[in-house]
Amino acid sequence: MTAALPIHDYALLDDAECDARIVAAKAKLGKRCIVLGHHYQRDEVFKHADIYGDSLKLSREAAQSEAEYIVFCGVHFMAEVADILSRPEQIAILPDLAAGCSMADMANKVKVQQCWDELAQIIDVENAVTPVTYINSAADLKAFCGQHDGIVCTSSNAEKILNWSFAKREKVLFFPDQHLGRNTGYRMGIPLEQMVTWDFNKPQGGLSEQQIRDAKIILWKGYCSVHQAFQPEQIDAFKEKHPETIVISHPEACFEVCEKSDYIGSTEMILKIVREAEANTRWLVATELNLVNRLNQECKAQGKSVHFMAPTLSMCSTMFRTDPQHLCWVLENLAAGHVVNQVSVPAEQAALAKKTLDNMLLAS
Ligand code: 13P
Ligand code: SF4
């Protein structure tokens, strides 16, 4: 058999040529391959997805797919989830292995274990704390939750998952995104003072023993750099010019932005709400630029205008790494019988992580 085709042969291909070759490779692979696309993917890649969605929808699709190859146009943790939830003989592929998630990188096993151990000095962690990891995290952190009877959540099921967690134990350790945890907890009626932030660079998270004892949710001090760009003043300034504006935000946006928003929801929910809204409405959206631009184009026909909240254009640079050249490269290799860029989670870790993901899929 010939060797795998090297990526450098693709680097200089123009997008139009890639486009035609992606279509041809997909046709050759047929049902053996499914391409999943997250809503933040750029148009040139997104249009080749067989199924697109938010993290929860794509996890379900990966778990149910019959395809031999699951090509994930998204970021690394998403391909890991596809590998964990699919059958052992199925293969998960990430077109560019450097497509990570900067928020996911803000928590790691060493720091979370250290946090757990430090909490154990003060409270009975195993009986008092449910660890909850946002799906935007590495597989070993999902495995950590599996080991400690915890669970995974996404932006679309966080409230259900927190309810599940509080039914088990009185406190939650929530990582890595402080904003999703805080925004969700607050809407469930938990006062801000009972949601403390664990600074993973400080001893005991920078918290006093009393703060830890009194907390309902201990929030990891992680955040998304893309959603960090949205600020409440941007809403005020926009509404001054267009008072009729309806504001919708992803829960990774900060508390002050979510407080000023009419709706809060996952990427899939944002699309649904704006699509189903009355014609001729104006929307200000706090989430990634590719999604907002596509939604604006789509809704123009209904007289809706959809605006990006931040004055500077901020894209998710890691989602952007998946380009038509990488997609073409992985698909043509698969069509030629070569697997490149497989994402494979070690079996022991995958088994523990699967337990938490299964808990999540059942609870949501
Ligand atoms: P969704 O699950 O809402 O698509 O969010 C994923 C993500 O990474 C948002 O930044
Ligand atoms: Fe991660 Fe933020 Fe990009 Fe989502 S938008 S994948 S949270 S860096």
Ligand 2 near 102 CB (within 6 A): yes
Verify whether ligand 1 is closer than 6 Å to residue 157 (CB atom).
no
Q: What is the pLDDT along the chain (364 residues), one digit of tens a residue?
A: 689 999 999 999 999 999 999 999 999 999 999 999 999 999 999 999 999 999 989 999 999 999 999 999 999 999 999 999 999 999 999 999 999 999 999 999 999 999 999 999 999 999 999 999 999 999 999 999 999 999 999 999 999 999 999 999 999 999 999 999 999 999 999 999 999 999 999 999 999 999 999 999 999 999 999 999 999 999 999 999 999 999 999 999 999 999 999 999 999 999 999 999 999 999 999 999 999 999 999 999 999 999 999 998 779 999 999 999 999 999 999 999 999 999 999 999 999 999 999 999 999 8
- Number of other CB atoms surrounding residue 126 within 10 Å: 11
Q: How far, CA to CA in Å, does 22 sit from each of 26, 271, 325?
A: 6, 27, 9
Residues in the chain: 364
Residue 46, helix vs strand vs coil: helix
Domains and CATH numbers, the chain: 7-99+318-345 (3.40.50.10800), 104-225 (3.40.50), 227-308 (3.40.50.10800)
What residue type is assigned to position 270 of the chain?
A: I
Distances (CA, A) of 277 to 120, 248, 297: 48, 12, 15
Find the angle CA(284)-CA(288)-CA(293) to the nearest 5 degrees. 65
Distance 123 CA to ligand 2 centre (A): 32
Q: State the distance from the centre of ligand 1 to the C-alpha of 264, rounded, in angstroms.
A: 12
Measure Cα distances from 194 to 69, 152, 161, 279 in Å: 45, 21, 18, 41
User: 162 with 152: CB under 8 angstroms?
Assistant: no
54: Cβ below 6 Å to ligand 1? yes
Is 66 annotated as belonging to a binding site? Answer: no
- Please name every residue paired with 285 in a beta bridge, in sequence order, or none if there are none: 248, 308
pTM above 0.95, yes or no: yes
Segments of the chain assigned E as strands: 33-38, 51-53, 69-73, 91-93, 129-134, 151-153, 171-175, 195-198, 217-220, 246-249, 263-264, 282-286, 305-308
Report the nearest atom of ligand 2 relative to the CA of 288: 5
Q: CB of 267 closer than 6 A to ligand 1?
A: yes
